[in-house]
Amino acid sequence: MAITAIRTVIIYIFIIVAMRIMGKRQLGELQPVELVVTLLISDLAAVPMQESGMPLLNGLVPIVVLVAMELLLSALMMKSNGFFTLISGTPIVVVKDGKLDTKALKRLRLTVEDLMESLRQQNMFDIRDAAYIIAETNGKISVFPKPDKQPVTTGDIHKVPSDTGAPVIVVSDGKMVDWGLEMCGLTEEWVKAQLHKKNCPLKDVFLMTADKSKQYYLLRNKDTGASGGEKP
């Protein structure tokens, strides 16, 4: 039993390193070939965990080879469009200028029900509202609505607000978040000054978000669980 436990720990660490090297793609955004590799790795890792009579290397070596091949394949796909097309295919236009291409649907082996389901998931309940529908290489459906069905933006009504950037976390659980500070161009000194003004030590901060315009939101530990939070 100890052997199984130790082997599991080794494989667990190994898988984390392997996935880290493979990169940050979300599961839903995987290309079919990447999805297959991910499933294969999980399967390969499970076998030497359960079978102590099998050398650990017999599980680890295929994972190393798969990860390496996957990295080389993705590098090649980035270098060559032709290779990318060969491995991942091309996006297929299902609706063009509001007209449904039934041949494209057949090529994709998609039924109209499947297509409608994908549209509904994107808040489009009427196919007539779509100007373009494209089946992407990762299997997702992209929809571009007709001009009269597109939502109004601030640009359309000429009332564009100033760009304050997205609020990001600058302090989390009493600790400064460097990437957040860097993203909104703030310094630790600025954060400390704001906290000093609020008479709140850093260790008492549960969450602090800020944006480029130095607008911030502060949530103290004592405010959590209640409707707390302070703005400048």
Partner 1 sequence: MKRVIVAVVALILVAGGCVLSIYNERNNTNYLIDMTNQIETAFREQDLERTQQLADQFVEEFKERTRYFPFYMRHSDVSQIEENVIMLPILLEAGDMEHFPAELARCRNQLDKLGDLELPLWENIL
Rounded distance between C-alpha atoms, residue 12 and residue 63, angstroms: 12
CB of residue 41 vs partner 1: minimum separation in angstroms? 14
Nearer of residues 83 and 132 to partner 1, judged by Cβ: 83
Contact with partner 1 (CB under 8 A): which of 9, 19, 75, 112?
75
Options 37-45, 63-71, 121-129, 175-183: segment touching partner 1 (CB under 8 A): 63-71
Contact with partner 1 (CB under 8 A): which of 57, 112, 160, 166?
57
With the CA atoms of 13, 68, 44 and 57 taken in that order, what torsion angle do they form, in degrees rounded to the nearest 10? -70
Of residues 30, 27, 2, 14, the one with CA closest to residue 62: 14
CB 208 within 8 A of CB 191: yes
Rounded distance between C-alpha atoms, residue 32 and residue 40, angstroms: 12
Rounded distance between C-alpha atoms, residue 170 and residue 185, angstroms: 11
Question: Does 72 interact with partner 1 (rule: CB under 8 A)?
Answer: yes
Count of other CB atoms within 10 angstroms of residue 130? 22
Contact with partner 1 (CB under 8 A): which of 4, 9, 55, 213?
55
| Side-chain half-sphere CA neighbours of 35 within 13 A | 11
**What does DSSP say about strands 168-172 and 175-176: parallel, antiparallel, or unpaired?**
antiparallel
CB of residue 49 vs partner 1: minimum separation in angstroms? 15
CB of residue 34 vs partner 1: minimum separation in angstroms? 14
Question: Does 5 interact with partner 1 (rule: CB under 8 A)?
Answer: no
Question: Does 68 interact with partner 1 (rule: CB under 8 A)?
Answer: yes
Contact with partner 1 (CB under 8 A): which of 53, 82, 161, 225?
53
Contact with partner 1 (CB under 8 A): which of 6, 13, 39, 61?
61
CB of residue 82 vs partner 1: minimum separation in angstroms? 19
Nearer of residues 21 and 166 to partner 1, judged by Cβ: 21
Distance of CA 155 to the CA centre of its chain: 28
Options 46-54, 99-107, 168-176, 218-226: segment touching partner 1 (CB under 8 A): 46-54
